[in-house]
Amino acid sequence: MRTVIVTGCAGLLGSNYSRHLISNGHHVVGIDNLSGGHKAFIPKGENFEFVKLNLERRKKVEELFEEHRPDVLLHFAAYAAEGLSPFIRNYNYRNNLICSANLINPCITYGTKMIFTSSMAVYGGQETPFTEDKQPQPIDPYGMAKYAVECDLKMAEKQFGLRYNIVRPHNVLGIYQNIWDRYRNVIGIFIRKTLNGIPILVYGDGEQTRAFSDIQYYMEPFDILLTEFDGEIFNIGADKFFTLNQVAETVQEIGKKYGYEVPIEHGPPRHEVKHAYCNHDKAKDLLKFKDDTKLEELIESMFVWAMNQPNRKVKDIEYEITDGIYEYWKN
């Protein structure tokens, strides 16, 4: 039995993987501040302990490590909103950079291996598919924060011998996902709008391409990373990509099937990467990663799950600057 700390345990990756760890006999300490995840999504079990904690509280984080002496830390917690991040720079860097730094220090002190979930946002607008050997070129503060943490991990390894691995997941879907945040998780946003009778809004021409993957295919790769490899970077996600027009039309058709009919509308384009998807050969070779996501089936299962969820409230984010803010975010 290993002791594993999981941050973001009320979110999509953290909630699902915590359950997987518990089922495999590990002792899990789950951390979440419940700013994005929901209390109902937190796992339960004899080998699970939940700690509500803001990771900005450095001393409290250090006390938690002192108490539990974890073998591994899985750092899933983040505020992943690339498009919003230029308007909330301080919030973005506090959540995605400072909180990560507060975890790196005790990992060094207690010899804890750190598995950091970065993002394909570090690649920016380079030629697709992105491969792990591409030099990161982020185009927004969110991608910059993730890349900064990656750089810090490499420095901590060289200076202190920190053991770590980096995973760059992208567009992961499944139950326990926050579909109530209007700034992130595009399919969740489309589903929420449909269930509330609001037109599906697609930014720009809708020909942006993304690849979406089912959370269930992430379990085995993370299991391997618990004990194997050090200092490696892995892309994990689906190979097949879709335009956002295709995604919106799929959600629209599934909505009709269940009695929710809404139109699709197009708004002005926003500052974002046009085409974003990765190569996953390295994860397939070394982590036994296999993705068999059937997007329409996955969206339908999420839609049915969402139909049975209460309309949860999410604390809105206060804009730090309003210059250039998109009209559709002002309401």
Active site residues: 142
Query: How far is it, in rounded angstroms, from Cα 145 to Cα 118?
Result: 9
Q: Are 236 and 218 in contact (CB under 8 A)?
A: yes
Query: How far is it, in rounded angstroms, from Cα 227 to Cα 220?
Result: 12
Q: What value, to the nearest 5°, has the Cα angle with vertex 244 and ends 196 and 16?
A: 70
For 303, the 3-state DSSP assignment is helix
Query: How far is it, in rounded angstroms, from Cα 154 to Cα 149?
Result: 9
Residues 6 or more apart whose CB falls under 8 angstroms from that of 89 comprise 141, 320
Query: How far is it, in rounded angstroms, from Cα 15 to Cα 196?
Result: 26
Count the Cβ atoms, other than its own, within 10 Å of residue 5: 27
Q: Are 202 and 265 in contact (CB under 8 A)?
A: yes
Query: How far is it, in rounded angstroms, from Cα 97 to Cα 141?
Result: 10
Nearest to 109 by CA among 57, 66, 58, 152: 66
For 49, the 3-state DSSP assignment is strand
**Total residues belonging to the chain:** 331
Q: Are 167 and 118 in contact (CB under 8 A)?
A: yes
Residue 173 pairs in a beta bridge with 214
